[in-house]
């Protein structure tokens, strides 16, 4: 009997890429049904549905289209889409496993599904894909999610999960049952969904396997950091609300060795730097400037200088640690000025990292990022100081 439901949450995708992915998933004997959850009934929804109906290759496959339900209480977004799929999986099917994949992966193939199936067959409750990413990609993952987990939960596996915001994963039925019953998960209708899924998987003690997809994920990248503002805010807000969690169990966790990276990913240096620089000097107001009084004086002073000239050379690993702690203590998720300030602090951090680390090469950058997360855990555990972070060699 078929064991798995493959689900693609989607919004406005390239219809050809999306339908190819549906076809690839439906062709796998282990897959009993493909579920496509659209953000709304837009052109992409109608065209993809029509293409699937008329496709002879899909005539014997079960492909279901749904518009996502309004399940959560945050901004309606990807979280409602993923939770709609979980709910459908539990209420409408008897399948053993659910897979999630982003609909826009241009190089999606059967391998993505089959690799997860193999790891699940080894007895793991959750399988997550990870893959090589450009050194200036994943700046929310590294600077917000992994950093936040390292500050708050240094003794757990949370900071060491390779891609905690990854949208390519498999869950055994018991995991989906636990998540969909959890009010925090159901509420998280926005970009925060990946962070809350990751956290709850670990909190509930589910075992996790991370498979390495060396081919990487060929998909649309953002142009400038401004495109990530709402994702940044929504991901940070989850970490902010997760403060104070206790008793996180030690899970069985295996990470496959990362074995190679394509030249395309290795040589890519991400976003539009020129456009991003301007973001630091725009849209300041008196409230934002006064919030900087809550930060250590030299961070507040340097950030404030951005009202006149662009300054980010101070936002090294140690100052980012301190800024992040200050944000955790003082942030107000409902305040638009805090949201803007969070964004500007993060932009200065990403620019510091880009110019001091990323320019030195791919391997150098990842050595730095992994050591940064280890270092943050040590500082949080008080076995190292911020000075140690500044002084360590590369």
Minimal distance, residue 228 CB to ligand DGY, in Å: 6
- What lies within 8 Å, CB to CB, of 66 at 6+ separation is 35, 36, 37, 38, 84, 88
Number of residues forming the site for ligand DGY (CB under 6 A): 7
Binding-site member from 102, 117, 137, 234 for ligand DGY (CB under 6 A) = 137
Q: Which of 139, 261, 372, 389 binds ligand DGY (CB under 6 A)?
A: 139
Residue 263 vs residues 58, 131, 133, 219, 266: alpha-carbon distances, Å: 35, 14, 11, 16, 5
List all residues 6 or more positions away from 283 whose beta carbon is below 8 Å from its beta carbon: 340
Q: Does 380 bind ligand DGY (CB under 6 A)?
A: no
Nearer to ligand DGY, 117 or 137 (CB): 137
Those residues whose C-beta lies under 8 Å from the C-beta of residue 187, and which sit 6 or more positions away, are 72, 73, 74
Which alpha helices (H) appear in 9-137, and where do they start and end?
15-26, 43-53, 78-92, 110-121
Task: Give the Cα separation of 226 and 243 in Å (integer).
Answer: 27
Report the run of H or E that residue 254 belongs to, with start and end: strand 253-255
- Min dist CB 137 to ligand DGY, Å, is 5
Give the integer Cα–Cα distance in Å for 266 and 362.
Answer: 6
Q: Near ligand DGY by CB under 6 A, which window of 18-26, 98-106, 132-140, 198-206?
A: 132-140
Phi and psi at residue 287, in whole multiples of 5°? -60, -45
- Asked whether position 198 contacts ligand DGY by CB under 6 A, the answer is no
Q: Which residue has the tokens 């997860």?
A: 116
Percent helix, strand and coil across the chain, each to the nearest 5:
50, 10, 40
- CB-nearer residue toward ligand DGY: 120 or 228: 228
CA-closest candidate to residue 315, choices 292, 298, 327, 290: 298
Q: Is 276 in the site for ligand DGY (CB under 6 A)?
A: no
Q: Which of 140, 213, 291, 351 binds ligand DGY (CB under 6 A)?
A: 140
Name the closest residue to ligand DGY (Cβ): 140
Distance CA 133, CA 155 (A): 26
Tell whether residue 193 is a contact of ligand DGY (CB under 6 A). Answer: no
Considering only 60-68, 136-144, 182-190, 207-215, which stretch makes contact with ligand DGY by CB under 6 A? 136-144
**Candidate list 165, 186, 213, 292; residue touching ligand DGY; CB under 6 A:** 165
- Residue 225-264 contact track with ligand DGY, rule CB under 6 A, x = bound: ---x------------------------------------
Closest approach of ligand DGY to the CB of residue 53, in Å: 32
Of 9 and 32, nearer to ligand DGY (C-beta) is 9
Chain residues binding ligand DGY by CB under 6 A are 137-141, 165, 228
């Amino acid at each position: 009997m078929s064991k798995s439901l493959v689900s693609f949450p989607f919004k406005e995708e390239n219809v050809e890429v999306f339908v190819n992915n549906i076809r690839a998933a439906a062709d796998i004997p282990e897959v009993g049904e493909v579920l496509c959850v659209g953000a709304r009934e837009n052109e992409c929804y109608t065209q993809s549905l029509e293409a699937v109906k008329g496709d002879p290759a899909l005539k014997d496959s079960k492909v279901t289209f749904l518009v996502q339900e309004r399940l959560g209480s945050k901004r309606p977004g990807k979280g409602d889409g993923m939770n709609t799929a979980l709910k459908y999986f539990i209420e409408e099917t008897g399948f053993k496993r659910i897979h999630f994949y982003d609909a826009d992966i241009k190089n999606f193939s059967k391998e993505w599904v089959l690799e997860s199936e193999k790891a699940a067959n080894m007895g793991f409750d959750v399988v997550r894909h990870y893959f090589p990413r450009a050194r200036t990609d994943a700046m929310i993952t590294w600077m917000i999610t992994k950093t936040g987990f390292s500050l708050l939960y240094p003794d757990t596996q949370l900071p060491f999960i390779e891609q905690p915001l990854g949208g390519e994963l498999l869950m055994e039925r018991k995991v989906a049952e636990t998540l969909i019953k959890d009010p925090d998960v159901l509420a998280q209708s926005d970009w925060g969904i990946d962070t809350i899924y990751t956290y709850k998987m670990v909190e509930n003690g589910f075992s996790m396997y991370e498979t390495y997809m060396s081919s990487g994920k060929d998909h649309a990248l953002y142009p400038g950091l401004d495109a990530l503002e709402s994702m940044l805010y929504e991901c940070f807000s989850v970490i902010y609300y997760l403060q104070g969690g206790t008793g996180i169990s030690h899970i069985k966790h295996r990470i496959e060795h990362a074995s190679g990276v394509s030249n395309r990913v290795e040589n890519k240096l991400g976003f539009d730097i020129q456009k991003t620089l301007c973001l630091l000097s725009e849209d300041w107001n008196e409230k934002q400037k006064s919030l900087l009084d809550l930060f250590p004086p030299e961070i507040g002073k340097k950030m404030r200088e951005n009202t006149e000239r662009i300054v980010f050379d101070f936002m090294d690993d140690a100052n980012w640690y301190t800024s992040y702690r200050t944000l955790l203590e003082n942030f107000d998720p409902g305040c638009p000025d805090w949201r803007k300030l969070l964004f500007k602090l993060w932009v200065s951090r990403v620019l510091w990292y880009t110019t001091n680390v990323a320019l030195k090469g791919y391997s150098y950058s990842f050595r730095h990022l992994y050591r940064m997360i280890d270092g943050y855990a040590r500082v949080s555990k008080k076995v190292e100081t911020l000075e140690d972070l500044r002084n360590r060699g590369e």
